[in-house]
Amino acid sequence: MTPFDLAEPATLQEAIALLDPDDPTVRPIAGGTALMLMMKAGVFRPGKLVSLRNVKDLTSIDAAPDGSLRIGAMTPLAAVERSAAVRAHAPVITRTMRTLSNIRVRNVATIGGSLAHADPHMDMPPVLIALGAHVVAASPAGERTIPIETLFAGYYETVLARNELIASVVIPAQGARRSAYLKCTTRAVHDWPALGVAVAVESDGATVRDARVVVSAATETPTRLAGAEQALRGGAAGNALWRQAGEAAAAEAETISDGQGSAAYKRQLVRVYVARALAAALEPDGAN
Amino acid sequence: MATLTQVGRSVPRLEGQAKVTGRAEYVHNQRLPGMLYGKIVRSTIAHGRIVKLDVSAAQALEGVHRVVTIDDVLKVVPNPFYGPAFHDQPILAAGKVHYVGEPIAVVLARDPHVAEAAAQLVEAEYEELPAVFDEVEAMTSKAIVHDELKPAGTFPDLKHLKGKRDTNLALDFHLRRGDVAAAMAEADHIFEHTFRTQQVLHLPLEPYVSIGEPTDTGLTIHTASQSPSFVRIEIARLLGWPENKVRVKVPYLGGGFGGKLYIKLEALVASLALLVRRPVKISLTMEEQFYTLTKHASTFRIKSGIKDGRITARECEVWWNGGAYADIGPRITQKSGFTAPGPYDIDNVSIDSYSLYTNLTPAGALRGFGIPQLVWAYESHTDMMARALKLEPVEFRRKNLLSDGRPQATGTLMKDAAIAAVLDRVALRMNWSGPFDRGSGTVKRGRGIAIGFKASISPTTSIAIVNVAADGSVTLYCSTVDMGQGSDTANAQIVAEVLNILAERVKVVHPDTDVTPYDMATLGSRSLYHMGNAVRLAAEDARDKLAALARELGLPEGSNVPVAELFQKKYKMQAGNSIGTGSYIPSYVPPDASGQTPEATPFWMVGAAGVEIEVDTETGHVRILKLINVVDAGRPINPRIVETQISSAAVMQLGFTMQEKMEFDAGQVTNASLADYKIPSILDIPTDMQNEAVEAEQGSGPFGGKGVGESGTFAVSPAIANAIEDAVGVRLTALPLSAEAVYRALREAQGAPLEE
């Protein structure tokens, strides 16, 4: 690592002012678990880091009476994991945390950072997309709302401006929707996933009314699979339908080859894991 | 033998407390006054001539002390080529580079971050040459890695290669026993298969690290090395100095596994320290380990003739991918060649084993000295034959096993090798003859067994000193490196047993070549046996000298006067020492032109594994439900440490079997980080893992003991491949056994192969 400047502003506005819309060597740092690895590997050589650690009022978790959740961007993942409100209103997040990296990372990494880093292997993006969540982002131009499914512009790229920061994550009330997240690793249990699948399904028990199906890690960005969702809508809940959705997902997902597996193999994983995730979401004692 | 009180006791590791409280000494934590940090600049191409090396921008960076290239090194080391088998590896690239990652220059600075930044500024231009990466292609390739072969002269079987050109062959070992052609002609069945293994890495959690420190009288090298005596001799040779001007000190190691052997960074830090007359430290990053040393990738063609359920003929052809520098590869090629046909009693054997240069990171010994690659092939082959002949695989093995008194492929008679007992114990623990749940639906279950063996490398020497002080306290001086295997504790137990004291009271002095005597190296599971014998002899010598002192003082035989009183009587105060020395080298006869010798090895190591697995037929994922490891370790000196050696060896091999693989693109490692090269974590280890050393005794070993560091690695890979075929009917012949490889084989078997 080479020397760099470090700023530690106390407010979100100060932090935004310290960022530079034109200089890629100036970056915000939240928990730093991902960015530090890039710095140690020499992939990223910062001129200045703007630490968000001291920024006030970014670490609360609030549940509204309707069951929607607002999570401050600097909330550590471990706090999200332990939150009773999150467990009550979006238990799929609580369950996902158990296998999200390890407790040392979860103690430090933040929910905002896990989105802004835009690494397609991360677990939170597909889950939050399936839940229909959005972020509130702040910049000198003011605040705007960005659905998380449109947040990612590419591999490690978001639509955020260089001087725009995620302030909070908002998860709408889930009502009767039931969700599940499954991930598949191929080289070690603790490896980055070769595939993540998040699903959220609305059904009356017999018929699927609506569904969201999201794949990550195997694709360049976390991606909703419209064909699989279409295949599910109005279908009779059950293994035959889950397999049908898996087939549709496999046909549709643009998987990429890398060290975790070939594109063709990952397509097979999509086929299998989409069906398994749907079954897990609707299992009586499994997910909801 | 009298009742043993110290040997056979699970003495807690002597260094345990220092390690867990962070007080144990490692080179990684050492800082010397005025020390500079070196950062290595590495080749970005696999093979080529260096046309230009521009260090001016790096040299100009503020804080840079000096940038060093081979031209500078030549001022202190006129002939800068080193290596245990070939003097082929330059201290820094000399005119040519032979693999991606080869050191071409070093930046020195007080601040390691400055050195790192400046290293980015060194510019190299190359004229690229054709490269060869595959070990079989290297046999006939037009791309030649080295212009001329330069054997070190220490191995008689390499002399004929001196000055040879236009070849990548660094050693060819041949063994002929009986008449293979005739036996094949008479066989009822002939089977032939080819197996491959991949490049993997030692990856000790303490990466390679060395410090060179110029002194008034010569040079001190502080290094994380498994072979301090070799380092001293080789550095002295490079500098043209007597051995006693070079001092090599080795504290604890954070793992070694065969990586930290011979010369790694030591010649470089020695040259740098002499050039700038200041201490110089180089600590590699995790990533740089991928450019230092690997395990040999290999290809093994094996062919067997079977008559009446007996293996009557076996033909072995093995190609070892040695990478750009020979390191100890030629020794692996020969020594592992001895046992390539497996632990079976086969009258007609031919073995051809080839060590090849390629344009990859050099390969060396890694926990098994080539044996795991061989067992992978011959035990997969054994199972495939049993399956084809509809023979029960354990019975088929039993019928063919070598037993004590029978000649092995080299002609050496087997002795103290509990091969049958080891196999029996695995089968018993597996309840092999009992019913087995084969799974249902998309999850199928299977089980497999495998067994392998090894001839300990020979001949090698160990020397030890035991010093009894005037108060009766005891210190052991030896150059065995405790890199985590527990050798300090085991050696202390041997001393304590002889001198009738508690092992916990023995102090073990770590390798310091100014102080501790010669030892060949800590490798190949040799230390417990060789150093153990030397330590026992040294302790007996000290004991005998104390007895002589007692006689001299007129004390009656067996009077048991405390040691402190003996010295008091002799010197009239607390003064004096009793110094015992011990030296051990086993007898050995080099193999003749047919690979035959009556004494190939001082002892045999045996290891078997049994696994139960589950295969997800929709994804190819293999889950290991049970892993049983049984070895012959002779009499365990420290049963608890023996158990952890067995389990750690098995877990390491489990990683090489299921997970680990260096990926290459034109010789460039594309997964050179722990994020992309996955070693097993606690979650990858089977919850049911059982480890056992069978009741056995090595007659020639210290108190019946012998080495056990590698035995747990031997059989893990084929046992799992055998279980996969048992579960889902597909056979994998290349490592690693990844989920994708299993799934592809399943699709292939269904006649619907998955597209590439």
Phi-psi region of B472 (alpha: psi -120 to 50; beta: other; left: phi over 0): left
Cα–chain-centroid distance for residue B667? Answer: 24
- CB burial of residue B19 (10 Å; 0-12, 13-18, 19+): middle
- Residue A287, pLDDT above cutoff 60: no
Name B450's Cβ contacts closer than 8 Å, sequence gap at least 6: B375, B379, B380, B382, B383, B608, B609, B714, B715, B716, B717, B718, B719, B722
B113, B116, B743 ranked by CB distance to A268: nearest = B743
The Cα of A187 is separated from the nearest Cα of chain B by a number of Å equal to 5
**Cα–Cα distance, A246 to A252 (Å, whole number):** 10
A193 neighbors A126 (Cβ within 8 angstroms): no
Q: How confident is the model at residue B159 (pLDDT cuts 50, 70, 90)?
A: confident
* Chain A residues within 8 A of B619 when measuring between CB atoms: 184, 268-269, 272
Residues 260-279 of A with CB under 8 A from B: 261-262, 264-265, 268-269, 272
Q: What is the pTM of this model?
A: 0.97
CB contact under 8 A, A269 and B619: yes
What is the token pair recorded at A43? Answer: 């992939």
- Residue B464, pLDDT above cutoff 70: yes
Q: How confident is the model at residue A2 (pLDDT cuts 50, 70, 90)?
A: confident
What is the token pair recorded at B553? Answer: 């003082």
Count of helices and strands (H, E) across chain A: 11, 14
CB pairs under 8 A between A and B: 56
Whether residue A191 lies within 8 A of chain B, CB to CB, comes out as: yes
What is the token pair recorded at B313? Answer: 């003929």
pLDDT at A288: 41
How many CA atoms within 13 Å lie on the side-chain side of B515? 16
pLDDT at B682: 93
* Chain B residues within 8 A of A264 when measuring between CB atoms: 754-756
Tens digits of residue pLDDT in B494-522: 999 999 999 999 999 999 999 999 999 99
A253 neighbors A261 (Cβ within 8 angstroms): no
B346 neighbors B339 (Cβ within 8 angstroms): no
pLDDT at B132: 98
**Cα–Cα distance, A124 to B712 (Å, whole number):** 40
CB contact under 8 A, B116 and A265: no
CB contact under 8 A, A2 and B113: yes
- Give the catalytic positions of B in this structure: 710
Residue A40: closest C-alpha in chain B? B285
Whether residue A190 lies within 8 A of chain B, CB to CB, comes out as: yes
Output the CA–CA distances (angstroms, integers) from residue A150 to A135, A197, A221, B590, B692, in the order listed: 10, 17, 10, 71, 57
Whether residue A99 lies within 8 A of chain B, CB to CB, comes out as: no
Alpha-carbon torsion (B651, B652, B657, B659), positive or negative: positive
Output the CA–CA distances (angstroms, integers) from residue A6 to A112, A179, B523, in the order listed: 20, 40, 47
DSSP 8-class letter at B457: P
**Cα–Cα distance, B367 to B713 (Å, whole number):** 7
Q: How confident is the model at residue A256 (pLDDT cuts 50, 70, 90)?
A: very high
Q: What percent of chain B has pLDDT over 90?
A: 97
Going across the sheet that includes A26-29, the strands are: A5-7, A48-51, A26-29
Going across the sheet that includes A134-139, the strands are: A61-63, A69-72, A165-171, A134-139, A142-147
CB contact under 8 A, B675 and A269: no
* Chain B residues within 8 A of A187 when measuring between CB atoms: 659, 678, 738
Residues 588-647 of B with CB under 8 A from A: 618-619
**Cα–Cα distance, B701 to B525 (Å, whole number):** 13
Where b means 16+ CB within 10 Å and e means fewer, B685-724 reads bbeebbbbbbebbbebbbbbbbbbbbbbbbbbbbbbbbbb
Residue A2: closest C-alpha in chain B? B113
Query: ipTM more than 0.90?
Result: yes
B353 neighbors B320 (Cβ within 8 angstroms): yes
- Find the mean pLDDT for residues B429-457: 97
Residues 29-88 of A with CB under 8 A from B: 37, 41-42
Residue B680: closest C-alpha in chain A? A188
* Chain A residues within 8 A of B42 when measuring between CB atoms: none
**Cα–Cα distance, A32 to A35 (Å, whole number):** 5
pLDDT at A42: 83
Tens digits of residue pLDDT in A147-204: 999 999 999 999 999 999 999 999 999 999 999 999 999 999 999 999 999 999 999 9
- Residue B229, pLDDT above cutoff 50: yes
